[in-house]
A and B are shown apart, each in its own frame.
Chain A
Amino acid sequence: MNPLQQKFHSTSTALALVGLMLAGPIFVKAEAAMVVMPAGTYVPLLRATKEAARITVAPFLLDECPVTNADFLVFVTVSPKWRRSEVSGLFADSSYLEHWSSDLEPGPHAPPAAPVVQVSWFAARAYARWAGKRLPTTAEWEFAASAGYTRPDGKNDDALKKDLYGWLARPVPAVLPDVATAAPNFFGVRGLQGLVWEWVDDFNTSMVTGESRADTGLDRDLFCGAGSVGAKDTTDYAAFMRLALRSSLKANNTTTSLGFRCARDISLTPVKP
């Protein structure tokens, strides 16, 4: 554990309390556990030549687990416009929460402690705002997911790779497992890899047209500044899968394996040593 991480751990209880105070009188909902993420770096898989090879990630708070059906039920209960029967097609497609039994009843296909899926980016963002949080950025999410179970660099963690590629090879189960069944990674975050895919706030950064023949060299006609993007690390298969998924999504899309978790800025001045 690096010194910075330790420092932030020591303030995490205070931060959580402040978070509860900021959340104010909104709800009785139990505050989801958040993990204090230290500063780090993210190496983009695809990047423009002008882009930095490593992107610095400032310390932030990240939900320990993805948002669950029980969590999301509280949100739709107090937010009628996000119920399945009332949501606007602009913000969520027709399969939004389709596996729930009804507007306010997740039912047998959506156990309370399983991650909520079939939610759009707009819905995930609305939930995060309601919870006094935000969605993580791609850089934050990928940095958190880059850790193995026991070491900060997951690329060398065979146990993680085995679980991850096993998950990628299996079809999506009809009923998703509880979030707590996912083992915590080095940072203490669960389920980033091997549970569900997750929305990130800036999912719409990928300059890929979705037309594979057109993407060998990105189209300068469609994208300003494109034509300068090249793959960084061709060995990270799962990262390519995530990039492809994000590139193909529209913000109102929902799928049976796509959920989300929330992040929050660390706004307090770190304790001076």
Chain B
Amino acid sequence: MKNILLLLFLSAPLVGGAPLPADDHTGKPACCGLSAAAVPFTKKSLYQSEAGFTTDAGASFSLGELRGHPVVLAMFFTSCGYACPLIVSDMQAIRAQLPAEVRDRTRFVLVSFDTIRDTPDALAKYRAMRSFEAPWVLLHGNANSVRELAALLGVKYQQEADGAFSHSNLITLLNPEGEVIHQRAGLQGGIGETVATLTTSCEGK
């Protein structure tokens, strides 16, 4: 047994388990002066997650690409008839109320629960319908990635027989390191606190 373990230990670098480099996507402009490749993610950063997604433009996307930007993030699905339109409208209202210099840096991220119907194409149609501009990031993921992100955010969800999803109504703020700094649960909370938290967190940076 000891010999086997020793063998496994010696071969460890070959068999994975080592942390991925913090930023291994090349060919994209570094966003904000952070030398992403050199600095590992913080211990609280959601960007430690290796969950992979696809944008509505069909490009593969890891959450770590958001590093350097404040992020307003929610999970949703495009065919949702009740809460999701309200959540998205609230995110648009948050964006409208931010001071210009904060607004320009912030990314607004929507990740779909619906791994089957919300394909990148369906998300692209949703972008057009909602007139989302470039700072909006719409993400499709497989069941594993969506489940992992939900677990990281504390979002609960369940698909019902008619294909719709029951889900937590949650808007999450991430700082530029990808750490959760605020969550608004429910639909009635208003957006003032979210706007204030985001604005304060960006002051002096």
List residues of A whose CB falls within 8 A of some B CB. Answer: 25-28, 48, 50-52, 73-74, 77-82, 88-91, 121-122, 125, 130, 201-202, 204-207, 219, 221-226, 229, 250-251
> Is B17 a contact partner of A80 (Cβ separation < 8 A)?
yes
Knowing A26-B15, A222-B185, A224-B83 touch, does A51 contact B46 (C-beta < 8 A)? no
> Is A90 a contact partner of B48 (Cβ separation < 8 A)?
yes
A50 CA to B163 CA, complexed, in Å: 10
> Is A28 a contact partner of B8 (Cβ separation < 8 A)?
yes
Question: Does B161 sit within 8 A of A, measured CB to CB?
Answer: yes
User: Digit string of B142-181 for contact with A (CB within 8 Å is 1, else 0)?
Assistant: 0000011011101111101110111111000000000000
CB distance from A31 to the nearest CB of B (A): 14
List 29 A-B residue pairs with CB atoms under 8 Å apart, sorted by A's residue number: A28-B7, A48-B158, A48-B160, A48-B166, A50-B160, A51-B160, A73-B5, A74-B8, A77-B8, A77-B12, A78-B8, A78-B11, A79-B16, A80-B17, A80-B18, A82-B17, A88-B43, A88-B48, A90-B45, A90-B48, A125-B148, A204-B151, A204-B157, A207-B166, A221-B186, A224-B165, A225-B165, A226-B166, A250-B151
CB distance from A211 to the nearest CB of B (A): 11
List residues of B whose CB falls within 8 A of some A CB. Answer: 4-5, 7-9, 11-12, 15-19, 43-46, 48-49, 80, 82-84, 147-148, 150-152, 154-158, 160-162, 164-169, 185-188
A223 in complex: contacting residue of B11, B15, B45, B168, CB < 8 Å:
B168
A contact residues around B45 at 8 Å (CB): 90
> Is B147 a contact partner of A225 (Cβ separation < 8 A)?
no
B contact residues around A26 at 8 Å (CB): 15-16
Counting chain A CB atoms within 10 Å of each CB, the highest count among B46, B151, B187 belongs to B151
> Is B12 a contact partner of A78 (Cβ separation < 8 A)?
yes
Counting chain A CB atoms within 10 Å of each CB, the highest count among B4, B17, B82, B162 belongs to B17
> Is B12 a contact partner of A50 (Cβ separation < 8 A)?
no
CB distance from B18 to the nearest CB of A (A): 7
A226 CA to B167 CA, complexed, in Å: 8
> Is A224 a contact partner of B84 (Cβ separation < 8 A)?
yes
**Knowing that A73-B5, A223-B166 are A-B contacts, what are 9 other residue pairs whose CB atoms are under 8 Å apart, sorted by A's residue number?**
A26-B15, A27-B8, A78-B16, A121-B151, A221-B186, A221-B187, A221-B188, A222-B186, A223-B169
B147 in complex: contacting residue of A73, A81, A201, A226, CB < 8 Å:
A201
Counting chain A CB atoms within 10 Å of each CB, the highest count among B4, B84, B156 belongs to B156
B contact residues around A125 at 8 Å (CB): 148
B contact residues around A251 at 8 Å (CB): 151-152
A contact residues around B44 at 8 Å (CB): 89-90
B contact residues around A121 at 8 Å (CB): 151
Counting chain A CB atoms within 10 Å of each CB, the highest count among B5, B7, B158, B164 belongs to B158
Knowing A81-B17, A205-B157, A207-B158 touch, does A89 contact B169 (C-beta < 8 A)? no
CB distance from B2 to the nearest CB of A (A): 11
Closest 4 CB pairs of A and B: A79-B17, A225-B166, A224-B83, A251-B151
> Is A223 a contact partner of B167 (Cβ separation < 8 A)?
yes
A68 CA to B171 CA, complexed, in Å: 38
B contact residues around A25 at 8 Å (CB): 15
A contact residues around B151 at 8 Å (CB): 121-122, 204, 250-251
| Chain B, Cβ-Cβ closest to A218 | B166
A contact residues around B148 at 8 Å (CB): 122, 125
> Is A80 a contact partner of B12 (Cβ separation < 8 A)?
yes
> Is B82 a contact partner of A224 (Cβ separation < 8 A)?
yes
Counting chain B CB atoms within 10 Å of each CB, the highest count among A25, A88, A89 belongs to A88
B contact residues around A202 at 8 Å (CB): 147, 158
> Is B15 a contact partner of A78 (Cβ separation < 8 A)?
yes
A contact residues around B19 at 8 Å (CB): 81
> Is B9 a contact partner of A77 (Cβ separation < 8 A)?
yes
B contact residues around A229 at 8 Å (CB): 166
Knowing A28-B8, A78-B9, A207-B158 touch, does A222 contact B16 (C-beta < 8 A)? no
> Is B5 a contact partner of A74 (Cβ separation < 8 A)?
yes
> Is A90 a contact partner of B9 (Cβ separation < 8 A)?
no
A224 in complex: contacting residue of B15, B16, B167, CB < 8 Å:
B167
B contact residues around A224 at 8 Å (CB): 80, 82-84, 165-167, 169
B169 in complex: contacting residue of A74, A79, A206, A222, CB < 8 Å:
A222
CB distance from B15 to the nearest CB of A (A): 5
Knowing A204-B156, A250-B154 touch, does A27 contact B9 (C-beta < 8 A)? no
